[in-house]
Structure 1
Amino acid sequence: MNKVAALIILSMLGSFSIAEERIIAVEGSGVVEAVPDLIRIGYNVFSLSKNDPSEAKAKVDEISSLSVQSLLKLGIAEKDITSSSLNIETAEDYNDNGNALIIGHLVRRNIDIVIRDVSLYGEVIQALVDSHVSEIDSIKPDVSNYEELKREALANAAQSAKSNAEFLAKQFGAELDKVHQIGKQNTRRQYSLEEIVVTGSKRRASNIKSTQYEFKPGNVKVSSEIYVEFQLK
């Protein structure tokens, strides 16, 4: 037998082996919930001046300092309060003809904080409001052990994939063999704010119940999806 014929036969045998290989492909998902142990808040302070940007800067500096002082009094650590550089830009508006008009100078400072005692959340929000900050544009409950939760969610997703594959194979009278291929993995972190209702004391004068609404961070959800291919026996 010459070398060419031998190569052809080996190629054919390889093709038969691949054709006989039975594969089942499944997806698995896993979710882990955790109570947040920290909260990230982003807020900004801005001021507009028609003629003198230094006036707007002074106002921004005043409110920024007041807000930071209030946060420090509540126990927020200095290392957990960070600020971007001060931004000064030209503010524009448009007239009825759609032409841009310069209306002044806008000075802005963005500040980010991390609350490591989540029980302070309500007081922190109130302190920022009392300091007259311009916007609170980001509130994110978070966890310090995210990597650990991510691995736990991934393990749950792997177990889910195996369970799905075993169930599906059983429907066709087959059994799982070894893993053929592990495909894409995807992990997401989800957070929310839950609203809780706290009923206040009765107003003696009017005999009407006073109801307060407070907000607290909801659980952080870490979800993972995985794609797995198994060989069948």
Structure 2
Amino acid sequence: MKTLMRAAGLGLALTFAAAPAVLAEAPAPAAESMFRATTLNLSAYGETRVEPDMAMITLGVMTEGKTAAEAMAANAQRMTAVVASLKKAGIAEKDIQTSNLNLNPQYRYEENKPPILVGYQASNQVTIRVLDLKKLGAAVDATVNAGANQIHGISFGLVDPTAAENAAREAAVKALVAKADLYAKATGHRVSRLVSLSEGGGYVPRPPMPMVEMAAQRGFAKDSTPVQGGELTVRIDISGLYEVTR
């Protein structure tokens, strides 16, 4: 696991005391203290890079028939085989979820004539979660061999991002503290205390990547589909308000 510390969103706010208006109501003691304080309003972020331990992929079956019943029956038969192949490849039933089911009429269009119904098209898609990435390529191959003819995309993620997020938080805090010290020194001050700290951002799963290229490159031949998870970047953004004194 590699941890990166970077500073972002350079922001510096120096607030000095000002005389209140004659008729203005006197501020509360806490507010008055902050009003007279010199502060630094800064932001920073921390990143950590980790290997994914989970993948999500959507695949399915599209069939056609002269009638709606014929299209759906053919689809059900092939989809049953696809799901069975997934289970045989080691994918648990709880990690297989139907994500799309459609039945649409198909028409032929001719100039100056009303559309002519020529049949129906049925599609059924499932989204699967793979917790052992070594099984992913074999699972894809198994579904294609069983009749799947649609593969829409793959995304990689983390089952539990807590450790990666905490590492990014530590990196973000170190970057923020270093920036506060730098600005305080550059302006002839020293950091007195941290007044407030807020967090934004966090783990975001990588968007699905199309698998059309992969299918085209190998044509789903005998070799197992190569799937590389690469690395995920987990980022935490923070901002802090520091009081500084001379």
Quick one: which of 45, 70, 75 aligns to 2:85? 70
Match of 1:23 in 2: 39
Quick one: which of 179, 188, 198 aligns to 1:164? 179
Q: Does 1:46 align with 2:62?
A: yes
Q: Does 1:110 align with 2:122?
A: no
Match of 1:207 in 2: none
Match of 2:242 in 1: 230
Q: Is the 8 A contact 2:140 2:225 kept in 1?
A: no
Kindly provide the CA deviation profile for residues 106-153 of structure 1, in whole angstroms up to 9, marking residues without a partner as x.
322120111121111221222233233232213112222213322332
Q: Is the 8 A contact 1:192 1:217 kept in 2?
A: no
- 1:118 and 1:29 map into 2 onto residues whose CA distance is 30
What amino acid sits opposite 1:157 in the alignment? A
Q: Is the 8 A contact 1:192 1:219 kept in 2?
A: no
Match of 2:231 in 1: 219
Q: Is the 8 A contact 1:36 1:219 kept in 2?
A: yes
1:101/1:152 CA distance change after superposition, 3 Å: farther
DSSP 3-state at the match of 1:223: strand
What amino acid sits opposite 2:168 in the alignment? A
Structure 1 residue 179 displacement after superposition: 2.0
TM-score when normalising by structure 1: 0.74
Map 1:1-233; keep pairs closer than 5 Å.
10-11=26-27, 17-49=33-65, 51-84=66-99, 86-91=101-106, 104-191=119-206, 214-233=226-245
Identity percentage of aligned residues: 21
1:72/1:11 CA distance change after superposition, 3 Å: closer
Structure 1 residue 29 displacement after superposition: 0.9
Q: Which runs of 5+ in 1 are unaligned?
A: 1-6, 195-211
Structure 1 residue 19 displacement after superposition: 4.0
Q: Is the 8 A contact 1:149 1:222 kept in 2?
A: yes
Q: Is the 8 A contact 2:141 2:225 kept in 1?
A: no
What amino acid sits opposite 1:132 in the alignment? G
What amino acid sits opposite 2:162 in the alignment? E
What amino acid sits opposite 1:126 in the alignment? D
1:58/1:162 CA distance change after superposition, 3 Å: same
What amino acid sits opposite 1:150 in the alignment? E
Match of 2:9 in 1: none
- 2:234 and 2:32 map into 1 onto residues whose CA distance is 43
Q: Is the 8 A contact 2:79 2:147 kept in 1?
A: no
DSSP 3-state at the match of 1:173: coil
Q: Is the 8 A contact 2:153 2:208 kept in 1?
A: no
DSSP 3-state at the match of 1:128: helix
TM-score when normalising by structure 2: 0.70
1:22/1:74 CA distance change after superposition, 3 Å: same
What amino acid sits opposite 2:93 in the alignment? E
- 1:41 and 1:92 map into 2 onto residues whose CA distance is 31
